[in-house]
Amino acid sequence: MLKIKSTIVFLFFCVTINAQDVSYAKKIVDTLASKYMAGRGYVENGDKKAANYIKSEFKNLKLKKVKLSYFQNFSFPVNTFPNASLVILVNDTLTEGKHYIFSPSSTSLEYDGELIFINDSVFASNKFIEDLFTGIFYRKILCITTSNTKQLNSVLEEVNSLKFKPAAIILTKKKLTWSVATETKSVALLEIIDSLLPANTKQIKIKLQNQFIAKHKTQNVIAKIKGKSKSDTCIVFTAHYDHLGKMGNAIFPGANDNASGTAMLLSLANYYAKPENKPNYSIIFMAFAGEEAGLIGSKYYTENPLFDLSKIKFLVNLDLMGTGDDGVTVVNATEYKQEFEALQKINSEKKYIKEVKKRGKAANSDHYWFTEKRVPSFFIYANGARMHYHDVYDVRETLPLENFNNLFKLLIDFSNTIQN
């Protein structure tokens, strides 16, 4: 473990860093969050397009392959929605992503008929549960409005196992948040913005087609810069490049999550690739796929490492790097206290960002599987007010990157400190 006394003067380690050209980072974000990338998911080869782009950047920067290829290939199951869906309330056609979303595990559905509302009082009654389980709502659409989240989740789990089940369940939401599913359930789940669905709505028309892919082929993208004095030891920077992809015509661009983290990863690669910045330790750059589907790419890597994991001195996972108005949060800060104190001390002396906040161990991003393998790891994410998350509004046009340079310099200083 790194031994750092509070009296260490970091000026020796933290040499003056020229500001990284933020236009390079903006180019990365603009490209990865573009319509062409289709949300970097599992429709229109979005994740493959993004992987090829990152590979081309590694090659342009003259980074080396860790093994025979920049790609580490693997596969996993995923439920997708390649075709446009349709939701019509009476005579109003709703817009995918903005007005409604389907649960990512939803199955195909065609329905044109009655909409049955189940309010809080009805939902809490034993009669509703009896009616549900005896099949009275068979092939019907139920809109459940309840504040009993625990009971609702229990019903949603049970309903898929019913013999005579509803065709779909609708929930009303103030905000729509999508994700990725690796399975298909037997009942479609639809979420609609609450103001668009008054309780007197009687008719609904729905059309949805899912496509389940049992073995979606994808890849991690990995490259390295060889250290000048301790090349057998390495610092690792990671970021997931995948996002949610598309639900029909709705694109989830993922500018902040995590085109911004990938832009930081490539900016660090761009810095260390310059001869004057050649690091003491080797530095490995890992761009993971499958994070949004359950940290699948990083799990695969830790189970199939391309080099001995014990060679990693420290790993820093980067996500949500687009804001930083309120500083950053460091996951695993309580696990690696001395390194966290070093990071805080750098920021205190250089005043890069507002605050470096502490958080404990959490299985919330790609650092987790490395932590489980006893690799010293941080997960660093930026905090700020303008953060759209897992929705269609996480776009490049509203991502300022005004704190990007200072976040970049903080990471460089921290990396150099670890190496020294």
Alpha-carbon distances, residue 244 vs 68, 256, 321 (angstroms):
29, 12, 18
pLDDT computed for residue 367 by the predictor: 98
Closest CA to 142 of 107, 115, 123, 109: 115
Q: Please report, rounded to a whole number, the percentage of residues in the chain having pLDDT higher than 90.
A: 87
The string of pLDDT tens digits covering residues 21-40 is 799 999 999 999 999 999 99
| In the predicted structure, residue 94 carries a pLDDT above the cut 80 | yes
| In the predicted structure, residue 360 carries a pLDDT above the cut 50 | yes
The string of pLDDT tens digits covering residues 256-269 is 999 999 999 999 99
| In the predicted structure, residue 109 carries a pLDDT above the cut 80 | yes
CB atoms within 10 A of CB 372: 13
pLDDT computed for residue 137 by the predictor: 95
Q: Please report, rounded to a whole number, the percentage of residues in the chain having pLDDT higher than 70.
A: 95
Give burial (CB, 10 Å; 0-12/13-18/19+) of 351: exposed
Alpha-carbon distances, residue 225 vs 73, 158, 180, 232, 332 (angstroms):
21, 51, 33, 11, 26
Q: What is the mean pLDDT of residues 166-181?
A: 96
- Check: pTM over 0.85? Answer yes or no: yes
At residue 344's C-alpha, the angle toward residues 342 and 348, to 5°, is 115
In degrees and rounded to multiples of 5, residue 247 shows phi and psi of: -115, 95
Give the confidence band of 111 by pLDDT, cuts at 50, 70, 90: very high
Greater confidence (8 vs 380) lies with 380
Strand order in the sheet with 211-225: 71-80, 211-225, 281-288, 230-240, 312-319, 377-382, 328-331, 356-359
Q: What is the mean pLDDT of residues 116-139?
A: 92
What one-character DSSP code corresponds to residue 167? Answer: S
Which pair of structure tokens corresponds to residue 275?
């001869």
Which residues lie across from 188 on neighbouring strands? 168
Least confident span in 59-68, 126-135, 214-223, 275-284 = 126-135
Cβ partners under 8 Å of residue 23, min gap 6: none
Closest CA to 383 of 300, 323, 315, 293: 323
The residue with tokens 């229109």 is 44
Instruction: Quote the CA–CA distance of 106 and 74 in Å, as a whole number.
Output: 24
Cβ partners under 8 Å of residue 171, min gap 6: 143, 144, 145, 152, 189, 190, 191, 192
Q: Are 245 and 305 in contact (CB under 8 A)?
A: no
pLDDT computed for residue 16 by the predictor: 44
Q: What is the mean pLDDT of residues 214-226?
A: 98
Which pair of structure tokens corresponds to residue 333?
């800060």
What one-character DSSP code corresponds to residue 309? Answer: G
Strand, helix or coil for residue 411? helix
pLDDT computed for residue 385 by the predictor: 75
Output the average pLDDT for the chain. 93
What end-to-end distance do the CA atoms of the chain give, in Å? 13
Torsion of CA 18, 288, 57, 285, to 10 degrees: 50
pLDDT computed for residue 400 by the predictor: 85
Q: What is the mean pLDDT of residues 332-341?
A: 98
At residue 70's C-alpha, the angle toward residues 379 and 394, to 5°, is 45
pLDDT computed for residue 386 by the predictor: 66
